[in-house]
Structure 1
């Protein structure tokens, strides 16, 4: 009896390794269970689509007063112009995905359940990216549906049979997803909601103002690659007009924004793996 008991006592079951799928399920559950997520995404959609509609209606009403140069710049980026206001909303969502866990102490619980920090970090990034991509697609095509009629009646070609127009629409969810990841990175780096949001606002709205006032070509070159202008360049389909402010090409804007995201994500990942919770 004793031998049997001893033998069964030592036959412990092996410790099961937590899978990435389980980490994804956990992060989806977290983001679904917080009511603020739904409100944030709803505000993002309503704000972006509503402002796109408002800009289109006002532009159409004043079409005859626009100069030929201004008319030439109306393209798909005008249709989705409201997304520039939704950018801040998804950036804040990215911050909150992380900072609220640090604020409530939930991050310690998450790390207890998922001790492999790289898996937890990647799961948060993937879930956030998927949620924002879906939201961005809704914003892009809803904005197109409500705003494009105001421009097409004035002869602006916004047909989706043109690859450039489709590319500009699909750039919207990509732009928003990269901004959300930047917010996520700032949340991991600063671990404080107000500090991370303030940094995000400064990066997107204050830095462009500063670079715009820098003298010579240096200011113009820096102004082109700041995150907000790089994102805007991704959605432009019209050719540059003489005398207009120089911008990056769509692919150049995407690369610049990708670099900005990497500059924040990489150190955020490193610090998350090496700092205490």
Structure 2
């Protein structure tokens, strides 16, 4: 009878399972021990800098050239690297079969998904900072040739750089969520690229043609269309708003929600998809 009673002051850690900090540490170790995230992150940084430089160089011949206007142009292509990074972090374990080991050690599903999101966001934040720095470096040579001094702390530039960094982190988490949800690298990759890159372009084609210009003001009449609204509310369209200054106005055919609104829309998509991924993990076994 005495053998069945636990000694006072002794905790049964076996019942409690792994703690969340240990799960986070394990996920971090798994992520940084792979080559693919490092290569993907490095390529993302290089592409951001090179494309920004080429864009600024091409624009430097204009009389009204402002180097800061080219700051976010490199992310138009570099965002592919962020999406791929997220998908690899989310679907990689299912491809190799390591997910079985993970969920055997951590039977509860949500701590693993939360830890993966936290670790991936931290890694993506480093990539984001380096990508923004590479973009800044990319606009300096064209600006110097024109004798223009770049002030990164003037006007809306700090907000644009912050939005660029959050853009990279947000799209990486979007790729992670879709990767965990679909569990297969190729379908997740295709789905992520379609949602983030192709869908916004297709949505711009939806809706009635624009209204003719008002003769009194000789400017096009602003018109909110169904396609424009859906584009702004899509993950890819919302993410694009984060890289624009707040004063740039709405996208064509879309409501004016600004970069903050775009960030909130993208965050909502990421949260919904992560919850859906956690529910699927809870309801269906890992195979």
Q: Deviations over 1:215-272 (max 9, x none)?
A: 2221222223332332222122273479966564111211221222223222112112
Q: Give yes or no for contact 1:79–1:148 (8 Å, CA) kept in 2.
A: no
- State which of 228, 233, 253 in structure 2 corresponds to 1:225: 233
Conserved? CA contact 2:82–2:124, under 8 Å? yes
Structure 2 residue aligned with 1:57:
57
The structural deviation recorded for 1:276 is: 0.6
Following superposition of structure 1 onto structure 2, how do residues 136-151 of structure 1 map, counting pairs within 5 Å? 136-148=128-140, 150-151=142-143
Cα distance, 1:268–1:158 mapped onto 2, change above 3 Å: farther
Partners of 1:241 and 1:205 lie apart in 2 by 21
Residues of 1 paired with 2:69 and 2:281: CA distance? 37
Which residue number in structure 2 is paired with residue 106 of structure 1? 98
If asked which structure has higher relative contact order (CA below 8 Å, sep 6+), I would say 1
Residue number in structure 2 paired with 1:261: 270
SS of match in other structure, 1:239: helix
1:116: Cα distance to partner?
2.3
Structure 1 regions of 5+ residues with no counterpart? Answer: none
Q: Quick one: structure 1 residues 242 and 169, their matched pair in 2 at CA, closer, same or farther if it must change by over 3 Å?
A: closer
In structure 2, relative to structure 1, the CA distance for the partners of 1:25 and 1:240 (3 Å cut) is closer
Q: Within 2, Cα distance between the matches of 1:26 and 1:145?
A: 35
- Contact 1:158–1:165 (8 Å) recurs in 2: no
- Equivalent residues in 2 for 1:156-167 (5 A)? 159-162=151-154, 164-167=156-159
Give the Å deviation of 1:154. Answer: 5.8
Shift of 1:91: 1.2
1:146, CA displacement in angstroms?
2.7
Normalization by structure 2: what TM-score? Answer: 0.81
Distance 2:117 2:165 in 1: 15
Aligned to 2:218: none
Aligned to 1:15: 13
Task: Give the whole-Å Cα distance in 1 for the aligned partners of 2:145 and 2:231.
Answer: 34
Of residues 268, 272, 275, the one that matches 2:281 is 272
Asked whether the 8 Å contact 1:77–1:235 carries over to 2, the reply is no
Q: What RMSD, in angstroms, separates the aligned Cα atoms of the two structures?
A: 2.9
The equivalent residue for 1:26 is: 26
Q: 1:203, 1:77 → 2: CA distance?
A: 26
**Partners of 1:203 and 1:44 in 2: CA distance:** 19
Partner in structure 1 of residue 39 of structure 2: 39
Q: Provide the residue aligned with 1:134 in structure 2.
A: 126
May I ask how many residue pairs the two structures share in their alignment?
A: 265
User: Is 1:188 matched up with 2:180?
Assistant: yes
Greater CA drift, 183-192 or 218-227: 218-227
How far apart, CA to CA, are the structure 2 residues paired with 1:33 and 1:202?
A: 29
Q: Give the number of the structure whose residues are more often helix, by fraction.
A: 1
Find the counterpart in structure 2 of residue 121 from structure 1: 113
Change (3 A) 1:35 1:193: same
Alpha-carbon offset, residue 77 of structure 1:
5.4
Aligned mates of 1:55, 1:92 — CA distance in 2: 23
Matching of residue 174 in structure 1 with residue 166 in structure 2: yes
Structure 2, unaligned stretches of length 5 or more?
Answer: 209-224
Are 1:249 and 2:248 an aligned pair? Answer: no
Question: Is the contact made by 2:113 and 2:274 (CA closer than 8 Å) also made in structure 1?
Answer: no
